[in-house]
A and B are shown apart, each in its own frame.
Chain A
Amino acid sequence: MILEIDILAQDFGDNMTTIHITKKIEEQFKLHGENEYPHECCGFILGHFKNKESYGLEYIPATNVKEENRERRFLIDPQSYQNAEDTADEKGLSVISIVHSHPDHPHKPSDFDRDHAWPGFSYIIISVQKGKAVSYRSWQLNQNRESFIKENIKIVEEKK
């Protein structure tokens, strides 16, 4: 029942602290990270914002268009972002999260991540060690862009 959201009641407040995702999304991005190993994977989660929380409904894998250093860098084609946003708008959803993997690195955001992040998105980072997704964590950039703040991830059962 938790995913029945009243879209009109969206709240884009600054203090979102929890992202709710479905078990399926979790499985999808973990698998994506493992399949792309040793390169970084990246993707979007579409869903809703409500009060200080966000609710993910759908994972969209994106192509890492960076030609070099794909083990250590990702770059999402601006067109895939536009497509993801169009898909979201068609469904009355928003892009709530940008997911990427850190092959053989911890799930902590790097300085590079911070320089390229936006406040308002949930940045989920998956640590893929030797081809296996071992942990992940969601982060939000604070409003002054100085640091990433951890946020809660809640896994919810998908409503049939």
Chain B
Amino acid sequence: MASILKIPSPLRRFTNGEASIEVNGNSVNKVLEELFNAHPDIKGHLIEENGNLRNFVNIFINGEDVRQKGGLDAEVLEGSDVRIIPSIAGGSGKLSPEEFIRYSRHLSLPEVGIEGQTKIKSSKVLVIGAGGLGSPVSLYLAAAGIGTIGMVDFDIVDESNLQRQVLFGMDQIGKSKLESAKERLTNLNPHTNYILHETALSSENALDIIKDYDIVVDGTDNFPTRYLVNDACVILNKPNVYGSIYRFDGQISVFNHENGPCYRCLYPSPPPPNLVPSCAEGGVLGVLPGIIGTMQANEALKLILGIGDLMVNRFLLFDALTFEFNELKIHKNNDCVSCGDNPSITKLIDYKQFCGIESVNEKVAFSELEATELQQQLDNGASPIIIDVREDFELEISKIEGSLHIPMNQIPNRLNELNPENDYVIICRTGVRSLQICEFLSNQNFRSIANLSGGINEWAKKVDSSLPVY
């Protein structure tokens, strides 16, 4: 049984009005050859001089686009329904009059111009993390006229974010970061399409989220997500504009672009868990993410425009205290497990496990203690040793009398001051840092470790109202 090739209406003037012809060829090429033999004038309308299909012509076999099935070599089984279909698309111009005004400073740069601005407009960038880095990245990319900005975050705005996360304001405390971001960014540039991925990026959803974007900007604050973003970008072949910040130090590079290295080429494995504190514990100068994030936005724009020299094969270290920039040359590692010649990571793994962070409910080698329970214990004459792992200045704000003070970073080096046989209660501001220290100490085989739930703030609320909550 032969197949049927259907001719679209505007081309029927070349087929004497026939709506379809019977064909016997077993590939798209052969089917088209039969058509051209029967109706030679139609050829120029479908095929370019170099033999390729014209870009406004689609060929479908039984409802499927042949471009995904080998193009002109795609197989045509007997009895197929083969169709020539015009690509039907259109739209109201590349840039609107308002956009010409808005982007006039870009348009007058020869390196950008109308063509470049149109590229920016048709690009899609995914910003992972709406925090210190994500704020300047998304603000500048929105202002620059990126067509689609996707953002991934699941947090709500906290007052302690406002010291550096300039995307948010007082009105938005307690609200969804992404909804707040969209509100601010839409106000800055309504021409951009904002897509909110209100979820934690995970091995399950990362590929699905990232696949639709051209460029990924990594503004994450933890190692598991950073490795996850890296591996997903390698698998999907997307450039990864990396930035990171800690205290006064910033780093930036462009990974996985034009045969340059990926993050794993540089750092094959993560640091031991809990020894590198996050910014929440270690602190960060508020302006630092502004500096690093705007540099990430700069590289994302250059990637889109295809101009200048990118931070590929280069790694920049910035020290805000000394105001020194140090640039390192970095190279692709051919043995890299992610992007090397024989990668062992061909799908996403469990990144928390990889970074040595096990989920809390898998391992209860220590207990959680409510503030009121601790008070009862103390009233009953029990004498656990209370270790306060906050920083010096925090002790000036509030402290529990009789507690031992060891800032969390010093715990690993001062283990000899502690006895694994004693009872310890670990406290910090809200119970997050102390939780990590509890995990660390229980891994060191400490026998009796408890975490003060909610930290000293909870203690101040429930037990000692003379202490401030901060």
Q: Which residues of A contact B (CB under 8 A)?
A: 10-14, 40, 42, 49, 66, 68-69, 71-76, 78-79, 81-82, 85, 88-89, 94-96, 98, 100, 102-105, 109-113, 115-121, 123, 125
Judging by beta carbons under 8 Å apart, are A82 and B86 in contact? no
Judging by beta carbons under 8 Å apart, are B91 and A88 in contact? no
> Of the candidates B9, B88, B94, which one forms a contact with A88 in the assembled complex, judged by CB atoms under 8 Å apart?
B9
Knowing A69-B147, A79-B63, A116-B56 touch, does A94 contact B9 (C-beta < 8 A)?
yes
> Of the candidates B11, B55, B88, B96, which one forms a contact with A75 in the assembled complex, judged by CB atoms under 8 Å apart?
B88
> Of the candidates B6, B13, B90, B91, which one forms a contact with A12 in the assembled complex, judged by CB atoms under 8 Å apart?
B13
Chain B residue with the shortest CB-CB distance to A73:
B91
A68 partner residues in chain B, CB cutoff 8 A? 124, 147-148, 193, 195
Bound together, the chains give a CA A12 to CA B193 distance in angstroms of 42
A113 partner residues in chain B, CB cutoff 8 A? 90-91
Q: How far is the CB of A153 from chain B (nearest CB, A)?
A: 18
A81 partner residues in chain B, CB cutoff 8 A? 8, 85-86, 88
B56 partner residues in chain A, CB cutoff 8 A? 115-118
The prevalent SS among residues of A at the interface is: mixed
Bound together, the chains give a CA A89 to CA B60 distance in angstroms of 18
Q: How far is the CB of A141 from chain B (nearest CB, A)?
A: 10
Q: How far is the CB of A123 from chain B (nearest CB, A)?
A: 8
Q: How far is the CB of B220 from chain A (nearest CB, A)?
A: 25
A96 partner residues in chain B, CB cutoff 8 A? 9
Knowing A75-B89, A110-B93, A121-B86 touch, does A94 contact B12 (C-beta < 8 A)?
yes
B282 lies within 8 A of chain A by Cβ: no
> Of the candidates A13, A79, A116, which one forms a contact with B90 in the assembled complex, judged by CB atoms under 8 Å apart?
A116
B58 lies within 8 A of chain A by Cβ: yes
Chain A residue with the shortest CB-CB distance to B16:
A12
Q: A88-B9, A105-B96, A120-B13 are in contact. List 8 more A-B contacts (CB 8 A).
A: A73-B91, A74-B90, A74-B91, A82-B60, A85-B9, A95-B9, A111-B94, A118-B45
B271 lies within 8 A of chain A by Cβ: no
Can you list 17 A-B pairs, Cβ within 8 angstroms, ordered by A? A10-B17, A40-B90, A66-B89, A68-B195, A71-B92, A72-B92, A76-B89, A82-B63, A88-B9, A95-B8, A104-B92, A105-B96, A110-B90, A112-B89, A116-B56, A116-B90, A118-B56
Chain B residue with the shortest CB-CB distance to A95:
B9
Judging by beta carbons under 8 Å apart, are B85 and A119 in contact? no
B93 partner residues in chain A, CB cutoff 8 A? 72, 102, 105, 110-112
